[in-house]
Amino acid sequence: MTQTYSISDLARELDITTRAIRFYEEQNMLSPERRGQERVYSPRDKVILKLILRGKRIGFSLAECRELIELYDPGHGNRKQLETFLDKITQRRAQLTQQLLDIEQMQIELDTAEERCRTALEQTR
């Protein structure tokens, strides 16, 4: 028999809230079975949740996470998924590099503004 998980089991194991799990379910990224009012999650749901959480940690949008998850085809391997993932990693690195450059430029501008303010204050004494 395949192992199943309750929503509280997954929340505890993955250190997220049950509300977050329900949100991903509302976004049609998870599809637990129902036993009466109880949600029953499969090992596949657990893997999907782990992938979503990993994607969010590295800055991927929910849409990007969904795209990567939908590309997985266990019958034909996951080459397309891995290639797409590598492309997204490259794009994310480029974004982060640009953000670092922007931050460095902003720090230079702040230093300049601070220096001007201090000079102006000294002149008013």
The confidence band for 12, taking pLDDT boundaries of 50, 70 and 90, is very high
Kindly report, residue by residue over 53-97, the tens digit of the pLDDT. 999 999 999 999 999 988 877 677 788 888 999 999 999 999 999
Q: Tell me how far apart the alpha carbons of residues 114 and 109 are, in angstroms, rounded to a whole number.
A: 8
Instruction: Read off the DSSP letter of residue 3.
Output: -
Q: Tell me how far apart the alpha carbons of residues 66 and 72 are, in angstroms, rounded to a whole number.
A: 10
What CATH number labels 1-71? Answer: 1.10.1660.10
Report the b/e string of 102-115 with b at 16+ CB within 10 A.
Answer: eeeeeeeeeeeeee
Q: Is pLDDT of 3 > 80?
A: yes
In three-state secondary structure terms, 114 is helix
Which residue type does 71 have? L
For residue 96, CA distances in Å to 25, 52, 60, 101 come to 30, 20, 12, 9
Q: What is the mean pLDDT of residues 39-64?
A: 93
